[in-house]
């Protein structure tokens, strides 16, 4: 298993009598090590069984579909299945489509780990350059060969969902059933809700396979922060206002009865205006839209940043400074030192905001590094050799608004 595997998972496997080898930063690196080890020990009778691309594993996972069909009362409209490497959905589809071909089999993937969706779209297996690790149970860069072959024939579609929607589904399940799901387990719930809402589906039986409850308390902190955003109960906005007496008071009056849950105020001398970054709780989109229109009609330029991931990860915690790159660090001892050794003292680091995701999925880090245009090629080479995922953020609307 990779070093990013939650301790609750590998400890459980050890209790069942297995020897767990922790190696690599990702599933793909751990799998490559397992393949090499199996080949080395082949003469000793060692065999490699992949978690989602072996016919016996797929058949075993197909018994989930058998249980659903046997236990459900009445017709089933659709079964929603979380998708990583594709073994679970391939097995369920293989069984259900044989006995009840009218039932739709819908896969659900995170937007940042959509290997199956892209593979089905292109008609061939697509390998992702990188995957988001929040839903670590489905964080796979490429689906299996056998699972893709079956899904291409039997799966009716894929729904993509955001991190916010996953968190909202975790919260919904806890509030309704007092049961806590891990992100990969809540994936199908989020997909089922999005699908039913989009198609106006009511009064039909749908099944969501919630496979996984390996949740840590550290991860719950992030879930609680984003759950209300995912349910559209909280919006993150930015408003420019003149820096003059009474304007801040007028702003609060225009917000009206909306509940302000977070607010940061900063004067920008370059623009001779003040910037307010804030969150508001709301019940309906119409309620939020009416508030934004009140602000705009009063010449207070307002931007809705709710769907901007950079804001949710970093900028709602910052006001000012200069940054230009976001990295994903492995959450393990020495990760920050390795980063600093790669760039410092070659370039000056002017800003550093580290935000852990709960100990398993990698920390999101916003960094300001003073690099001249002539040195950008050298900088990219260093960033690539470091091995951490990264992207520049200078074109991000929120970055231009808040960090310049």
User: What domains does the chain contain, in order, with CATH numbers?
Assistant: 7-44 (no CATH), 55-230 (3.40.50.1100), 234-307 (3.30.70.260), 315-402 (3.30.70.260)
DSSP 109-165: EETT--HHHHHHHHTS----S----SSGGG--SS--HHHHHHHHHH--EEEEE-HHH
Q: What is the pLDDT of residues 336-376, one digit of tens each?
A: 788 888 887 788 776 676 766 554 556 777 777 778 888 88
Q: Is the pTM of this model over 0.85?
A: no
Tell me the C-alpha distance between 6 and 10, whole Å: 7
Tell me the C-alpha distance between 303 and 292, whole Å: 8
The percent of residues in the chain predicted with pLDDT above 70, rounded, is: 84
Q: Omega of the bond prior to 345 within 30 degrees of 0, cis? A: yes
DSSP character for 349?
Answer: E
User: Both tokens of residue 369?
Assistant: 């590094």
User: Both tokens of residue 9?
Assistant: 């998972």
Helix pair 87-99, 145-154: axis angle to 10 deg: 40
Tell me the C-alpha distance between 278 and 322, whole Å: 20
| Mean pLDDT confidence for 196-223 | 85
Instruction: Give residue for tokens 């992207």.
Output: 391
Nearest Cα to Cα of residue 276 among 402, 404, 399, 397: 402
DSSP character for 20?
Answer: P
Exposure b/e, 83-100, CB count within 10 A at least 16 = b: bbbbbbbbbbbbbbbeee
pLDDT above 70: residue 183: yes
pLDDT above 70: residue 329: yes
Tell me the C-alpha distance between 304 and 117, whole Å: 29
Q: Which of 47-56, 153-162, 210-219, 310-319 has the highest mean pLDDT?
A: 153-162
Q: Specify the pairing of strand 206-208 against strand 78-82.
A: parallel
The burial class, CB within 10 Å (0-12 / 13-18 / 19+), for 65 is buried
């Amino acid at each position: 298993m990779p070093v990013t595997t939650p301790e609750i998972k590998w400890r459980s496997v050890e209790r069942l009598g297995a020897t767990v080898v922790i190696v690599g930063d990702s599933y793909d690196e751990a799998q490559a090590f397992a393949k090499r080890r199996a080949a080395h020990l082949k003469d000793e009778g060692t065999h490699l069984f992949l978690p989602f691309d072996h016919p016996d594993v797929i058949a075993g996972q197909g018994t989930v579909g058998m249980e659903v069909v046997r236990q459900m009362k009445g017709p089933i409209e659709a079964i929603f299945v979380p998708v990583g490497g594709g073994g679970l959905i391939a097995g369920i589809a293989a069984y259900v489509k044989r006995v009840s071909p009218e039932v739709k089999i819908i896969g659900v993937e995170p937007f940042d780990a959509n290997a199956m969706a892209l593979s089905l779209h292109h008609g061939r297996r697509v390998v992702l350059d990188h995957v988001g690790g929040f839903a670590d149970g489905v964080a796979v860069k490429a689906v299996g060969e056998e699972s893709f072959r079956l899904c291409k024939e039997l799966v009716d579609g894929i729904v993509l969902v955001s991190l916010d929607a996953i968190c909202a589904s975790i919260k919904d399940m806890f509030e309704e059933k007092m049961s806590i799901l891990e992100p990969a387990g809540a994936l199908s719930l989020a997909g089922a809700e999005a699908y039913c809402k989009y198609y106006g589906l009511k009064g039909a039986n749908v099944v969501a396979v919630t496979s996984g409850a390996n949740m840590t308390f550290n991860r719950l902190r992030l879930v609680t922060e984003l759950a209300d955003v995912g349910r559209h109960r909280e919006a993150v906005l930015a408003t420019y206002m003149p820096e003059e007496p009474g304007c801040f008071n007028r702003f609060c009056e225009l917000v009206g009865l909306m509940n302000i849950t977070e607010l940061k105020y900063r004067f920008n001398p370059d623009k001779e205006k003040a910037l307010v970054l804030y969150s508001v709780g709301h019940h309906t989109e119409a309620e939020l839209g009416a508030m934004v229109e009140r602000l705009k009609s009063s010449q207070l330029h307002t931007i809705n940043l709710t769907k901007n991931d950079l804001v949710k990860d970093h900028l709602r915690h910052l006001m000012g400074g200069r940054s230009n790159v976001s990295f994903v660090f492995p959450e393990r001892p020495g990760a920050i030192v390795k980063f600093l050794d790669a760039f410092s003292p070659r370039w000056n680091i002017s800003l550093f905001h580290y935000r852990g995701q709960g100990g398993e999925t990698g920390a999101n880090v916003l960094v300001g590094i003073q690099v001249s245009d002539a040195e950008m090629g050298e900088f990219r080479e260093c960033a690539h050799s470091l091995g951490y995922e990264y992207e520049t953020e200078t074109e991000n609307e929120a970055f231009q608004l808040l960090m310049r």
